[in-house]
Amino acid sequence: MIALRVERFGFDPDATWGRLLLTGRQGGFVTVEPPWVYNRPSVSCLPPGVYDLEPHHSEAYPHSWALVGDGVAHFDDGVSARSTCLLHVANWAHQLRGCIGPGSSIRMIQGTLGVSHSLLTMRAIDAYLMDLRERNPQIEITEGRG
């Protein structure tokens, strides 16, 4: 079940920007990701596609979700090109290592363009996804140009 959709619309040298929609819900959020760097681990955003969402909890990234799919594993399995690509709290692209940071708006924060209220946004997304866990939630990432 596709629970989340990221529609990318902004492609800067330092960041990728998107809209995050929750299936069946009004409104939405925004996202920040690293720029596209030819799918290089830890520096590039993920290719567009559909990924399973698995709960992830670590000291560094509590209450986050791992994207798992074609060439992307939850944890390094020695086979997949990418691993530990998470949806987690972050305000700026430089805080992400191939992950997605959600927020309520795109704005200047401490002199750098980022997403605001990431922690509150992530709490709302986490609660939504936890309710859908039995239905195997997925995220679809698409790209637009404008």
Tell me which residue range forms the domain holding 93: 2-143
* Nearest to 114, CA basis, from 143, 100, 96, 93: 93
Total domains in the fold of the chain:
1
Given a cut of 50, the residues of the chain with pLDDT beneath it are: none
In whole angstroms, what is the distance from residue 47 CA to residue 23 CA?
A: 21
Q: What tens digit of pLDDT does each residue of 92-124 get?
A: 999 999 999 999 999 999 999 999 999 999 999
**CA distances for 86 relative to 9, 31, 107, 108, angstroms:** 20, 12, 22, 23
- Are the C-beta atoms of 59 and 40 separated by less than 8 Å? no
Q: What is the pTM of this model?
A: 0.96
Calculate the dihedral angle through the C-alpha atoms of 142, 94, 123, 128, rounding to the nearest 10 degrees.
10
